[in-house]
Amino acid sequence: MPEMILVETHGAVGVIRLNRPAALNALCDLLVGEIGSQLVDFNANPDIGCIILTGSEKAFAAGADIKEMQSRTYPAVLHDDFIAKWETVLRVKKPVIAAVAGFALGGGCELAMMCDMIICADTAKFGQPEINLGVMPGAGGTQRFTRAVGKSKAMDMCLTGRMMDAAEAERSNLVSRVFPAGTMMEEALKIAAKIASQSQTASLLTKKSINAAFETTLTQGIATERALFLSLFGTADQKEGMAAFVEKRTPSFAKPA
């Protein structure tokens, strides 16, 4: 049984809740390992169509576990590359939503940005305060933050270490939607259920195509999109989805075999 996460399923939605309250969900090796293992399990489960990663009302994750990192040396981290263990979420094919309330700082902010979508409560606080510790972001903070909010604001956040509230995060395109804290998780489940009700094959390929927009040129991205779009005409879901539209009924997409 995992020690630092709580796992739930709501229909076709899998929920992973970080549960290390005494440390505001600081990302230690054990917690990161448990998150990764459960992500892999949900990804392999045909009954799950969307995954939510969330924390508590006080914190999604307040950062990496500084006590655990403090004594590490350069040769040790070079060979261990502990940050690579955080990146299991990047290998998940199904859509992953970060549902953030309270603090998402440092590694917590970076973990949220590794997800496919961030929604947040109006209590959320985002930031990359590593500069205050004499280091810099190391799990994508200077890269994903810049792609989300632009160079000037990323420089501002990473060089001053200040926090960004939910309203600024939405204005800056870091998050897709903001909800009152009391309803945020309910709304996250609604969004995830809507995604999970769609064709899993189409969802996976849509995610793959959008990610290509950040990793390739426009010409390459368009070519990827076109190839993936055309491939869906070889699926039963395309036949069912278009037949349902013509027949004015709700489509019934089959689970992947």
Catalytic residue check, 247? no
Euclidean distance between CA atoms 21 and 4, whole angstroms:
9
pLDDT band at 119 (very low <50, low <70, confident <90, very high): very high
Q: Could you tell me which residue, 64 or 32, shows the higher pLDDT?
A: 32
pLDDT band at 255 (very low <50, low <70, confident <90, very high): confident
Catalytic residue check, 110? yes
From 107, 127, 141, 241, the catalytic residue: 107
From 64, 112, 139, 154, the catalytic residue: 64
Euclidean distance between CA atoms 27 and 161, whole angstroms:
19
CB 96 within 8 A of CB 39: yes
Task: Inform me whether the pLDDT recorded for 69 exceeds 90.
Answer: no
184-233: pLDDT as tens digits: 999 999 999 999 999 999 999 999 999 999 999 999 999 999 999 999 99
From 55, 110, 166, 241, the catalytic residue: 110
Extract long-range pairs of 178-181: CB within 8 Å, 24+ residues apart: 178/119, 178/120, 178/121, 178/122, 178/124, 179/119, 179/120, 179/121, 179/122, 180/121, 180/122, 181/57, 181/101, 181/121, 181/122, 181/123
From 99, 130, 166, 188, the catalytic residue: 130
176-192: pLDDT as tens digits: 999 999 999 999 999 99
Task: Inform me whether the pLDDT recorded for 78 exceeds 90.
Answer: no
**Tokens, residue 194:** 């809507």
Catalytic residue check, 170? no
Catalytic residue check, 107? yes
